[in-house]
Structure 1
Amino acid sequence: MDMSSPSAQQLADATTATTARRMDLPELMAAAGQLQAQGQGAAAAALYEQWIASDQSPLRIVACYNWGTVLGAIGRHAEAEAAYRQALTLKSDFIQARLNLGHQLEHLGRKEEALAEWRGIAVQERPTDVFGGDPLELRLHALNNMARLLESERRYAESEALMRQSLELKPDQSDVLQHYVHIRQKQCEWPVYQPVGQVTPNQLLTSTSLLAMLGLSDDPALQLLSAQRFVAEKVVKYKDKPFHRRFGPARREGRLKIGYLSGDLCMHAVGLLTAELFELHDRRRVEVQAFCWSREDGTAQRARLLRGMDKVTRLVGVDDESAARAIAQAGIDVLVDLQGLTNGARPNILAYRPAPVQVSYLGLPATSAIPGVDWIIADRFVMPEEYLPYCTERPIYLEHCYQVSDRQREVAPRPERSRYQLPEDAFVFCSFNNNHKFTEPVFDSWMRILGQVPNSVLWLLSDNEWCRANMLARAARHGIAAERLIFAPRVAPPEYLARFALADLVLDTFPFNAGTTASDCLWMGTPILTCSGRSHISRMAGSLLTHAGLPDLVTHSLQEYEQRAVQIGQNPARVASYKRFLSEHGRTSLLFDIPGFVRELEDKLEALALPLRERDAAAR
């Protein structure tokens, strides 16, 4: 043991005191707290373990609880489980210990056991803890964690019921309201804004997450407010010297260093779109690094993405401040955030400003309002100038479509329609967008389209059983037979791409347009009809179609969208014309000019970043 280290000396002194039984509980807690503050969680856990083994006082229950908390914090979940169970052996009505036991069981993958622990508390009208605590808050803790876990397990109906129960007990729970709104979207439960308990309509609106708002309204002001609310509540307020000046190199020289920040460099839409971008960067001009916390999914796509980088820094288990420091120390000129405020985002990293130029791209097709992110990659269709007042970032306008793509994607052989129960002679409308993008007005429009196009079917992705049941019920209300809605299972990317050839016309969603899906169907030569609105995300597919040379498939109201779909459905020759155009010109269009896209992007980023090198050197 290195006795020169204060923490090591402190542990040695504390251990001696414990062995001699000279340390009381407050002293123990203070010593363990100091060790934790110094990053010595294992030492703090050992200290608790020694004290518990040598002390038989009634206060052992508190030490057992704290021991479990320390063990859980350092990822030793099986030992934490044992510590909490020891506390519960001493007092079975120790509710806080039982709640935390549930968390450890969840970490250990024993999810049904975790639910059982929480359920035992949630069913109590006034759970009473041996050490006090607000009975309502204890019950809400159990209800909300059950709902969260069930949602992650895709048991949406059970999860929603628990959220409703929680909100009826306490309406002003912004985080619960956020999940309540989005879980209704996932099930196609319309209207999404369904009253519950004493929750006001304003609370529902102001608690809506940015992701949910993107699918509910194309009002860019509402989207901006959702982003700003999240940032105000969740993102660190860092006002000190930017990290790129505090920890970066004194002078930046040589090739432009571009860092990509993401948790989605794997089998994910972002990972599927960006692989060729990383590969085509000109290594004579730029160095490409990834800073990622992506899951190691073992796929060939993940391996390809990693090969496309000059260096990969994994940030799993690294706190945000340390991650920002590592980026700054790497001397990154431009940090491209591929995450925004989407699931798993780490906006605090950007708030520390680890790079002189920080750019939002692709992962969030909207403003993020993240402090420190000054730019967003766009084109003039997806982000017209009238949108700019609702965007905290400034646009980097490209002549190419803002959305990069991958020309190297693997495609399976074309299947037969019978494989997916599609009628051979039917006109096949299609939407493979995620179901949470489906809205009541658009689905009603689809039903009216089917009603006006004889011998047509709608081929849909089905995410879950509740969504499917709700869509079938809605179709029945429009007089559309159930067999005219055909549900597609999720399949591997090569098969997913191949089956686009079986559709006649893809129907886009609104206001949450297709992004990757639109790129996929156009690459496969199948036309998509879209409706473009006022927001970035409601103009994605319109941008792709414009750059592919098919602007006549862009409509600007649901009425026009519906009329155009009926016209095309009643005239299959138009579909043949669109498919012929895409076959002859689609893959050579500006949309899929990926080498040109990469060169233009490098030019734009160099123009922004290189002049800042001298300024930053002078500012030190």
Structure 2
Amino acid sequence: MKSFEQALQYHQQGKIQEAQAIYLALIKKHPNHADSWHLAGLTFLQNQSPSLAIKYIEKALIFSPNNTDYLINLSQAQKNADQLQKAFISLQKVTRLSPKHPQAWNNLGNLYQQQEQHIQAINCYKKATQLDANYANSFFNLSLSLNQLGQIDSAINACEKSLRLQANNAQTWSFLAELLVKSGQTGNAKAMLNQALQYFPQNPHLLCAMASIIEDEGFLDHALSLYQKALNQDEENGWALTQILYLKRSIASWSELATLFQQFIQGLQHQRPYLSPFSFLTESGSPLQQKMAGELFCQQWKPVVQPKIIKPKPHNQIRVGYVSADFYQHPTAYLAVNLFESHDRQHFKIYGYSNSRDDQSEIRGRVIKAFDEFVDIRKMSTNEICQRIIEDEIDILVDLKGHTLEAKTEIFARKPAPIQVNYLGYPGTIGQFMDYIIGDKFVTPIEEQANFSEQIVQLKDSYQINDIKRPIPSVLQSRQELGLPENALILGCFNNSWKITPETFRLWMEILKQLPQTVLWLMDRHPKTSFKQNILAHAQNLGIDNARIIFAAKAPLAHYLSYYHQMDLMLETLPYNGHTMASDALWMGCPVLSYSGDTFCSRVGASLLHAVGLSKELHCHSEQAYLQKAIELGTNPQTLQKIRRYLEQNRHQLTLFNSKKTTAEIEQAYRLMMQRLQQQQQPQPIIIQ
């Protein structure tokens, strides 16, 4: 038929609508023409109309019931229409009719992969590649499933085979780089991405992959330029956008922040993936917008198959598992180690699930020793980790990471424990998968329950656990050794640089103007970047002599803690307060001046100051009050000395550092969670009196 040949020509040229019109006309003239029915169905599939595709291809199969091409396309339409069981049946029929059909085995593997049945998927991909040793796409799919099972070396091997067969696939280059980084071959990953970018210099995925490696090397300015290039190529690239926001704040490059913030808000409204909620915490978004960001970000881990409900097993002890990538020299480890040590072993059994690197540090050794069972999950697949948690019969699984780097949110998405809790590592709502969030009346007010996907747990004083065994440096450095002026009042902030907003910095510069005898002491965490240069430029533009801005270098814990002996007043950041840094300062006797916002992360200072009994003296509710209080304290250094003496003399009696009390309150919350579960009640807010 001449018109059928014309339709095929249009179809091959990508003129889908023109081809479809001819196929439909042919069906009216020749209702028994199977190919017209099939190809019309294929055009509907290509136009994202899987239900119509199924209708037309099934009609074709009436006339040719064993046509494997028809069955393969039918299975794809069924998959797209979420008719997965029917798609399995269609493909299994193809493998019976034509057991040496590599595409059928590959597509069957894809279905198993979508169902997270990776062992079955791997078997199918291996069959496909045995039948066709040049099947690049199937080797790539094989690498995806091997990665999910934690078989990284085998995944690299399969991905490399795919790349040798099809070097013009940017996705394969990008995934191979990810695998190489995961296996510790960062140098090889970087070299490979350099090669890939010669083929695809504008590819946003490759640019982001290279930017991530360079960021980890500390060259944030270069990484920022690559993320910006990626965003220019793909304005909907959520990962690039959030990393640009994060890096610009990290190096104090504050131009275009308002525009980028608006792009983030628009991305939320349009449901764009990979917009990091963590980067959003430093922005001026509302608590409800933070919740929206968490919910959207979690969609990437939402399981295809609804997890089975895990029922608690009867035990003499409540089994609590803590999941973290921070069981090494990291602020979370320093804060939480005494929690693990202080748990009541008569009533609780404590498990640690660690995807942390082993830095051989003293704190890592202490953390490992604190757990009854410590499980290194770095080389385990998600399925294996979940299965281990289920076999350990964990009652309460606690996420100490949230949406921060190397989090294992995908574990919590599978719900391997009856109760799941968000605590300590992330100052905000996760968005999905969690039953409770542990806070206090400052960071998680009950009246703001609607802004949290979890049910709120309020501890009596501060939510933040602290280590009563924190070192008190015996060797203190002089001001001269630290490059500080002898007779000045030292105002300081060692918070991460991305917490310093232009608004906060302007406020600090106004304080310096009002207090000419002061200097500002910051920490240069990014010596390979333009951070220091940018900060000095901002200060100069605001009328402050660069000699009044002094930078400290990063240092080991005891050395760093000794810095606070020379700091007269720590100035807090907003909207993201200092957390560990603020409690470090208070531990060392350094007063901390804070003011609150509307979000969890902007109220941590209020929580900590309440727990050391200094809310009235040091906590403010507005920028103006903060400014006035700073000036008042700066002109009355004897008041600062009085506060320092109070903190130093009462250090071991202050509620903030009473880790046994905080642990007891957390355990009381755990008991109430279990009680409600055993009574078959839904999670509800908990207030510890």
Which TM-score applies when normalising by structure 1? 0.82
Closer/same/farther in 2, CA of residues 569 and 261 from structure 1, 3 Å limit = same
Q: Which residue of 1 aligns with 2:558?
A: 494
Code of the aligned partner of 1:405: N
Map Cα deviations across residues 507-563 of structure 1 (whole Å, 9 max, x no partner).
011110111111111111110000111111111111111110111200111121112
Show structure 1 runs of 5+ residues with no match: 1-21, 128-134
Mean CA deviation greater in 69-78 or 538-547:
69-78
Q: Which residue of 2 aligns with 1:435?
A: 497
CA contact (8 A) 1:49 1:67 kept: no
Within 5 Å, give how 1:578-617 maps onto structure 2: 578-610=643-675, 612-613=677-678, 615=680
Partner-residue secondary structure (3-state), 1:501: coil
Partner Cα separation in structure 2 for residue 315 and residue 142 of structure 1: 28
Give the one of 288, 295, 299 matched to 1:221: 288
Show structure 2 runs of 5+ residues with no match: 1-98, 682-689
Structure 2 residue 318 is matched with structure 1 residue 241: no
Closer/same/farther in 2, CA of residues 50 and 389 from structure 1, 3 Å limit = closer
Code of the aligned partner of 1:221: L
Partner-residue secondary structure (3-state), 1:216: coil
Structure 2 residue 204 is matched with structure 1 residue 157: no
Give the one of 152, 160, 165 matched to 1:75: 152
Alpha-carbon deviation of 1:376?
1.7
Closer/same/farther in 2, CA of residues 604 and 452 from structure 1, 3 Å limit = same
Q: Which residue of 1 aligns with 2:365?
A: 303
- Backbone CA RMSD of aligned residues: 3.5
Partner Cα separation in structure 1 for residue 256 and residue 268 of structure 2: 10
Closer/same/farther in 2, CA of residues 65 and 289 from structure 1, 3 Å limit = closer
Give the one of 385, 392, 410 matched to 1:348: 410
Map Cα deviations across residues 266-319 of structure 1 (whole Å, 9 max, x no partner).
221111011111111121222222222222221110111111111123322333
Alpha-carbon deviation of 1:443?
0.7
Q: Which residue of 1 aligns with 2:86?
A: none
Q: Which residue of 1 aligns with 2:348?
A: 286
Structure 2 residue 450 is matched with structure 1 residue 385: no
Structure 2 residue 330 is matched with structure 1 residue 268: yes
Alpha-carbon deviation of 1:406?
0.4
Structure 2 residue 630 is matched with structure 1 residue 565: yes
Alpha-carbon deviation of 1:337?
2.0
CA contact (8 A) 1:262 1:294 kept: yes
Mean CA deviation greater in 292-301 or 145-154:
145-154
Structure 2 residue 242 is matched with structure 1 residue 178: yes
Map Cα deviations across residues 120-169 of structure 1 (whole Å, 9 max, x no partner).
44356xx5xxxxxxx97xx2332222222222222222222122222222
Code of the aligned partner of 1:408: K
Code of the aligned partner of 2:193: W
Alpha-carbon deviation of 1:239?
3.6
CA contact (8 A) 1:532 1:538 kept: yes
Closer/same/farther in 2, CA of residues 483 and 66 from structure 1, 3 Å limit = same
Within 5 Å, give how 1:111-150 maps onto structure 2: 111=186, 114-122=189-197, 127=200, 139-150=203-214
Code of the aligned partner of 1:367: T
Map Cα deviations across residues 389-447 of structure 1 (whole Å, 9 max, x no partner).
21122222222321110011223322111221011111100101000111010011111
Code of the aligned partner of 2:486: E
Closer/same/farther in 2, CA of residues 452 and 313 from structure 1, 3 Å limit = same
Mean CA deviation greater in 472-481 or 167-176:
167-176
Code of the aligned partner of 1:440: P
Alpha-carbon deviation of 1:479?
1.6
Partner Cα separation in structure 2 for residue 354 and residue 82 of structure 1: 30
Code of the aligned partner of 1:324: C
Within 5 Å, give how 1:393-404 maps onto structure 2: 393-404=454-465
Alpha-carbon deviation of 1:27?
9.1
Partner-residue secondary structure (3-state), 1:502: coil
Within 5 Å, give how 1:58-97 maps onto structure 2: 59=134, 74-76=151-153, 80=157, 83-84=160-161, 88=164
Alpha-carbon deviation of 1:95?
6.2
Alpha-carbon deviation of 1:44?
9.3
Q: Which residue of 1 aligns with 2:119?
A: 39
Mean CA deviation greater in 256-265 or 556-565:
256-265
Partner-residue secondary structure (3-state), 2:577: coil
CA contact (8 A) 2:396 2:421 kept: yes
CA contact (8 A) 1:460 1:487 kept: yes
CA contact (8 A) 1:177 1:204 kept: no
Closer/same/farther in 2, CA of residues 209 and 80 from structure 1, 3 Å limit = same
Question: What is the number of residues matched between the two proteins?
Answer: 570
Closer/same/farther in 2, CA of residues 194 and 277 from structure 1, 3 Å limit = same
CA contact (8 A) 1:332 1:355 kept: yes
| Higher RCO (Cα < 8 Å, 6 or more apart) | 1
Partner-residue secondary structure (3-state), 2:512: helix
CA contact (8 A) 2:224 2:247 kept: yes
Partner Cα separation in structure 2 for residue 543 and residue 257 of structure 1: 29
Code of the aligned partner of 2:119: G
Q: Which residue of 2 aligns with 1:320?
A: 382
Code of the aligned partner of 2:447: E
Partner Cα separation in structure 2 for residue 482 and residue 512 of structure 1: 25
Partner-residue secondary structure (3-state), 1:403: coil
CA contact (8 A) 1:181 1:192 kept: no
Identity percentage of aligned residues: 28
Partner Cα separation in structure 2 for residue 259 and residue 102 of structure 1: 32
Partner-residue secondary structure (3-state), 2:453: coil
Closer/same/farther in 2, CA of residues 67 and 398 from structure 1, 3 Å limit = closer
Closer/same/farther in 2, CA of residues 24 and 83 from structure 1, 3 Å limit = farther
Partner Cα separation in structure 2 for residue 70 and residue 604 of structure 1: 39
Structure 2 residue 568 is matched with structure 1 residue 504: yes
Code of the aligned partner of 1:210: P
Alpha-carbon deviation of 1:587?
3.1
Closer/same/farther in 2, CA of residues 106 and 415 from structure 1, 3 Å limit = same
Map Cα deviations across residues 337-373 of structure 1 (whole Å, 9 max, x no partner).
21222222222322333333322211111111222x2
Code of the aligned partner of 2:449: L
Partner Cα separation in structure 2 for residue 395 and residue 294 of structure 1: 28
Partner-residue secondary structure (3-state), 1:444: helix
Map Cα deviations across residues 60-112 of structure 1 (whole Å, 9 max, x no partner).
87898788888877322797399559x65x88767666556655654565545
Partner Cα separation in structure 1 for residue 136 and residue 280 of structure 2: 46
CA contact (8 A) 1:547 1:590 kept: yes
Closer/same/farther in 2, CA of residues 159 and 110 from structure 1, 3 Å limit = same
Q: Which residue of 1 aligns with 2:597?
A: 533
Within 5 Å, give how 1:97-108 maps onto structure 2: 102-103=177-178, 106=181
Q: Which residue of 2 aligns with 1:6?
A: none
Closer/same/farther in 2, CA of residues 38 and 488 from structure 1, 3 Å limit = closer
Which TM-score applies when normalising by structure 2? 0.74
Bigger-Rg structure (1/2): 2
Code of the aligned partner of 2:289: L
CA contact (8 A) 2:102 2:127 kept: no
Partner-residue secondary structure (3-state), 2:564: helix
CA contact (8 A) 1:68 1:83 kept: no
CA contact (8 A) 2:493 2:522 kept: yes
Partner-residue secondary structure (3-state), 2:360: coil
Code of the aligned partner of 1:74: Q
Q: Which residue of 1 aligns with 2:12?
A: none
CA contact (8 A) 1:324 1:352 kept: yes
